[in-house]
Amino acid sequence: MTGTPHIEACRGDFAETVLMPGDPLRAQALAKNHLDDVRLVNSVRNMFGFTGTFKGRPVSIMGSGMGMPSISIYAHELFDYYDVKQIIRVGTCGGLLPDMHVGDLVLASTASTDSAMNRQRFSGWDFAANADFELLRRVHEKAVQSGLKIRTGNVFASDWFYNPDETFIAKVQKMGVLALDMESAALYALAHQHGRKALTILSVSDVIPTGEQASHEVRQNAFGAVIEVVLEAALEVETQV
């Protein structure tokens, strides 16, 4: 069998650094706009994956789908079968602070969760799902140097998009959580499990306290030039791996 049950690429088709947006169409747009010599390496279930070069260095970009079960499948196979060294999730999030605006950036130093996946992975214990520090440090430094406004802290990765608990938002806000996503806790745990590196950088698509929302088009085209900062930092870290 060539590839895995979910990825048709051959070994060697993926670079050591992979960016993972949730939306495969966002992966396509990012690859087209930021990489040279791009080639499609996966289209199974339309979960597009691309490999190209950035300033002469190989980089891959692939969708993860929505939720921790989906990103867990793809991240596991990338780490385990394709020997990817670091995955950076470039996704959208719901901002929890009233002074946030659509397009603000959040670096997830840690990821809390209501999912049972990490407990099951970690013998029923609570695993502290955290980013790779060197990736976090490099991206943060380059973002600040580039004049980007970026916040760093805890995000909450939920199994729920429509949470039935009406007190949920107030609870996570009280704990100082910056934003909500649906993938980061699983990605961080998988990176630790495989001895690899991971980081999540999020663009605010909804500001929950104010009701400000991005359009579907804005969501799909989130990040723009921020990707250049992320890639430069990631490739510096890759050189040291």
12 is a domain residue: no
Distant-in-sequence, close-in-space partners of 228: CB < 8 Å, separation ≥ 6: 34
pLDDT digits (tens, 9 = 90+) for 128-164: 999 999 999 999 999 999 999 899 999 999 999 999 9
Q: Is 198 exposed, middle or buried (CB count within 10 Å of its CB: 0-12, 13-18, 19+)?
A: buried
- Residue 154, classed as helix, strand or coil, is strand
Residue 154 lies in a domain: yes
62-71: per-residue pLDDT in tens?
A: 999 999 999 9
Does some domain include residue 178? yes
- Lowest-confidence region among 44-53, 81-90, 197-206, 212-221: 212-221
**pLDDT range class, residue 44, cuts 50, 70, 90:** very high
- Cβ neighbors of 240 (< 8 A, separation 6 or more) are 134
Which residues is 111 bridged to in the sheet?
A: 155
Whether 68 maps to a domain, the answer reads: yes
Percent of the chain past pLDDT 70, that is, above it, reads: 98
41 part of a folded domain: yes
Residue 2 has pLDDT above 90, yes or no: no
Catalytic residues: 206
Q: How many Cβ atoms from other residues are within 10 Å of residue 214's Cβ? A: 18
The predicted structure's pLDDT at residue 216? 77
Domain membership of residue 8 (yes or no) is no
Query: Could you tell me the residue range of the domain that residue 135 belongs to?
Result: 17-240
Look at residue 10 and tell me if it is in a domain.
Answer: no
Please indicate, yes or no, if residue 11 is contained in any of the structural domains: no
Q: What CATH number corresponds to the domain at position 192?
A: 3.40.50.1580
